[in-house]
Amino acid sequence: MKDALISRDDLRGLHPVFRGSYGDKLIDIGIKISALHVPNEIYNRSKHLTSHEFCKDVLDKLGVIRILQNIEVLDDFKDKPFITVSNHPYGHIDGIAVIETFASRVDNYKIMVNHILGLIDTMSENFITVDPFGNEDKNKVTFGGIRESIAHIKKKYPMGFFPAGAVSNLYFKKGKFVIEDRDWQPAVLKIIQKSGIPVIPVHISGHNSMSFYLSRMFGWKFRNLRLCHELYNKKGKKVVITLGEPIMPDVIKELNGDTVELGKFLKERTYSLGKK
Same domain, 145 and 231: yes
The residue count for the chain = 276
Instruction: Report how many domains make up the chain.
Output: 2
Q: Mind listing the pLDDT tens digit for each residue in 134-187?
A: 444 444 456 778 899 999 999 999 999 999 988 999 998 888 999 999 999 999
Cβ neighbours, 10 Å, residue 32 = 10
Same domain, 62 and 159: yes
Whether residue 95 is contained in a domain is answered as yes
Phi, psi of 83 (to 5 degrees): -125, 135
* Per-residue pLDDT, 141: 52
Same domain, 171 and 200: yes
* Per-residue pLDDT, 223: 76
Same domain, 179 and 256: yes
* Per-residue pLDDT, 142: 65
Same domain, 20 and 55: no
Whether residue 42 is contained in a domain is answered as no
| C-alpha to C-alpha distances, 191 to 21, 83, 108, 247, 262, nearest whole angstrom | 48, 10, 18, 15, 12
| Distance separating alpha carbons of residues 27 and 223, to the nearest angstrom | 19
Q: What is the residue type of 144? A: G
Same domain, 264 and 139: yes
Which pTM does this prediction carry?
0.89
The parts of the chain modelled with pLDDT lower than 70 are 14, 131-142, 220-221, 276
* Per-residue pLDDT, 246: 97
Same domain, 115 and 1: no
Same domain, 93 and 144: yes
Q: Identify whether the C-beta of residue 84 lies closer than 8 Å to the C-beta of residue 202.
A: yes
Q: Identify whether the C-beta of residue 202 lies closer than 8 Å to the C-beta of residue 98.
A: yes
Same domain, 261 and 164: yes
* Per-residue pLDDT, 135: 47
Q: Identify whether the C-beta of residue 122 lies closer than 8 Å to the C-beta of residue 50.
A: yes
Whether residue 43 is contained in a domain is answered as no
The domain of 85 spans: 49-275
Same domain, 21 and 75: no
Same domain, 246 and 114: yes
Whether residue 39 is contained in a domain is answered as no
Q: Identify whether the C-beta of residue 234 lies closer than 8 Å to the C-beta of residue 93.
A: yes
DSSP H/E element including 34: helix 23-34
> Which 8-state DSSP code applies to residue 48?
T
